[in-house]
Amino acid sequence: MPRSMAMRALLGLAALAPPVAARLLAEEAEEEEVRHYAIAIGVGLLGVTFVVGHIMEANNVHWMPEAAVGVLTGLAAATLCKATGQIQLLADERFDFEFFMTFLLPPIIFEAGFNLQVTPFVHNLAPTAFFAFVGTFLSTFVVGGLVYLAGQAGLCYPMGALASLTFGSLISATDPVTVIAVFNKIGVKVDLFSMVFGESVLNDAVAIVLSKTLLTFTTEAVSEQSILSASLLFIKIFIGSVLIGLGAGLLSSVVFKALKLNDGHEHFTMEASLSFVFPWVAYFIAEALALSGLVAILTCGMVMATYTRYNLSEKGAILTMRAYKSVAALAETFVFVYLGMAMVSFPILSHTASLNLLLAGLLACFVGRLHIPFGSALTNCFRGAGSSLPPISAKYQFIMWWSGLRGGVAFALAAKIYSDNNFPAKCGGGAELAGCDPHSAMSDSEAILQTTMLIAALTILVFGGSITWIATKADVMEGGASEHGGGKSDASIVKDQLEADSQVMVSLDKSAFLLRLLTRESSYKSVAADEKAIEERAFPGSLTGSRRPSLELTSPQTFRGWVAGTLSTSTPPLH
């Protein structure tokens, strides 16, 4: 009897198996369909952002930058999904940290390093490094300390000390994509551009490593030993990542030099394709070693800009510049669309009573950017009457202070903290302050996410929308066409960069060891050329009336002519 009952039970389960399997398959197919719709919507929003941004730019609507268009487009699409009850679709549009860190941020960071203009970057390396390294550390403790003290004083939501410091580190990551785009269009002076650009690229890397280091204190107690360990971890991550990126960049230069793909044959697609290999290998090796892939890929890009680009053919140099700019533009725009959608898909407005933390955080960010005038004052001490470089003016200082937008990096780090719930305590885990009830309040992780996203949206809309007017009033534009745009063709831009950067390389590398090792013979053949002529060409701003010869980009063989100033060519420009 028991055996027959068991048999009947098994037969009943077997009869139920096909319907259950069919239902599970149907649910999986439905989820896959929704996921495809979500991808289609995301890609479609990119197109809408590009079209609307172009129309507004064509009609001189400067108060609404393309980044703000992306945020508002994503916000509108997510709001529509929520209003129509498309909950599953909205869930698929939520932020994915791995997707962001693997496919969106690396192309942006690498393009910034690869298309780096070496000449103005070398000019302003000291203040840029101060703003990016010392400034980010100072901003972390200033912002974190002010937010913590405001909470303890009952002025806003009281986050814990470690949560406040972590918030200070991630919100110190400036992301002036909008400002850089505006600077490109209106043609600001090259030294101002290089400082804003250099600070944003380097301090993103510093903020990522610093926040990652601070999060180690969530699993171990704060002590002298743990602080020392965290400091050593920061140094290990940063130096290790730089070495990996440096190795990949130097290897790329050696490989391109050995392959001789610029020998006159049509290898430019091969050059562009091969150039993708080295930065992404560096990125994933660094990530596999628990280092910072972003620091590695940035370093690799800067090395490739300094040496590898001179081993590319004319078409290869232009194609790589265009390709990386296009990929970075797609990634940047998707980040802003993503940010707009996340404002609805994440519960950032579920605790409106704690929005006073937004005001405290925003004011703290303003104070945290005061390292700009401090660093500028130190720089100006070494830029006196005998210096070939001009001091950093008050106009420059204000624009750099105003250009400290928050965006993709800060948003990604905050979203990761929220998804991992690194700070589950409510009201900082302390007593009830500012009317904060630990039983009904949000967690510190949610407070970080809410404040970061709102600060990012506000700075993009307000700071990004006003930067054109401010730059125009400050009169910081070049007298002629800008080196960063201003209607010049890509061929002219690349030609100018190679011409100026090559002369800086020759003037800095007197022995020509690196040039001889990493580039073709023509790159270092004229290393003994007149140093005064090299300096005049490498630093045109130090002399009045100096101008560059009108040359067209041909190949690395033009290196000798650039330095000697005797090159003439009939090669037509490539548009």
pLDDT tens for 553-564 read 334 444 333 333
pLDDT score for 249: 94
User: Based on the number of CB atoms within 10 Å of its own CB, is 38 exposed (0-12), middle (13-18) or buried (19 or more)?
Assistant: buried
pLDDT of 189 reads 83
- What are the backbone angles phi and psi of residue 38, rounded to the nearest 5°? -65, -40
pLDDT band at 432 (very low <50, low <70, confident <90, very high): low
Average pLDDT over residues 216-245: 86
More confident residue, 504 or 380: 380
* Nearby residues of 434 by Cβ (< 8 Å), 6 or more positions away: 151, 154, 155, 156, 157, 158, 356
The reported pLDDT for the residue numbered 313 is 81
Residue 82 parent element (H or E): helix 66-83
**Most confident option among 80-89, 320-329, 471-480:** 320-329
pLDDT score recorded for residue 163: 92
What average pLDDT does the segment 180-203 reach?
80
Q: pTM to 2 decimals?
A: 0.75
Model confidence at 74: pLDDT above 60 = yes
- CA–CA gap between residue 156 and residue 220 (Å, rounded): 27
The reported pLDDT for the residue numbered 242 is: 92
pLDDT confidence of residue 540: 52
Helix, strand, coil percent values for the chain (each to nearest 5): 75, 0, 25
Q: What is the pLDDT of residue 564?
A: 37
Residue 21 has pLDDT above 70, yes or no: no
Rounded to whole angstroms, how far apart are CA atoms 19 and 516? 72
Handedness of CA 256, 259, 264, 266 (dihedral sign): negative
Percentage of the residues of the chain whose pLDDT score is greater than 90? 18
Cα–Cα dist 64/51, whole Å: 13
Could you tell me the pLDDT band of residue 94, with boundaries at 50, 70 and 90? low
235 pLDDT higher than 80: yes
Which of the four pLDDT bands, split at 50, 70 and 90, describes residue 174? confident
Asked if 238 and 209 count as a contact pair (C-beta separation under 8 A), the reply is yes
Q: Which residue has the higher pLDDT, 526 or 221?
A: 221
Higher pLDDT, 546 or 514: 514
Does position 20 have pLDDT exceeding 60, yes or no? Answer: no
In the predicted structure, residue 30 carries a pLDDT above the cut 60: yes
- What is the pLDDT averaged over residues 366-376? 92
Length of the chain: 575
**Percentage of residues in the chain having pLDDT higher than 70:** 71
Report whether pLDDT(457) > 90.
no
Of the candidate ranges 262-266, 311-315, 377-381, the one whose mean pLDDT is the lowest: 262-266
Q: Which residue would you say has higher pLDDT here, 389 or 349? A: 389
- Mean pLDDT, residues 64-72 taken together: 85
Region 95-101: mean pLDDT is 77
CA distance 67 to 171: 18
Residue 563 burial by Cβ neighbours in a 10 Å radius (0-12, 13-18, 19+): buried
Mean pLDDT within 83-107: 76
Residue with tokens 């690349």: 494
pLDDT above 80 (res 180):
no
pLDDT at 86: 74
- The mean predicted confidence, pLDDT, of the chain is 77
Spatial distance between the Cα atoms of 515 and 506, rounded to a whole number of angstroms: 8
Give pLDDT, residue 141. Answer: 94
| pLDDT of amino acid 14 | 53
Render pLDDT for 143-170 as a digit per residue (tens, 0 to 9): 999 999 998 888 888 888 999 999 999 9
* Highest-pLDDT range among 4-18, 315-329, 486-500, 509-523: 315-329
| pLDDT at residue 545 in the model | 41
Higher confidence at residue 76 or residue 432?
A: 76
Q: Which residues contact 322 (CB under 8 A, 6 or more apart)?
A: 490
Question: Is residue 502 predicted with pLDDT exceeding 50?
Answer: yes
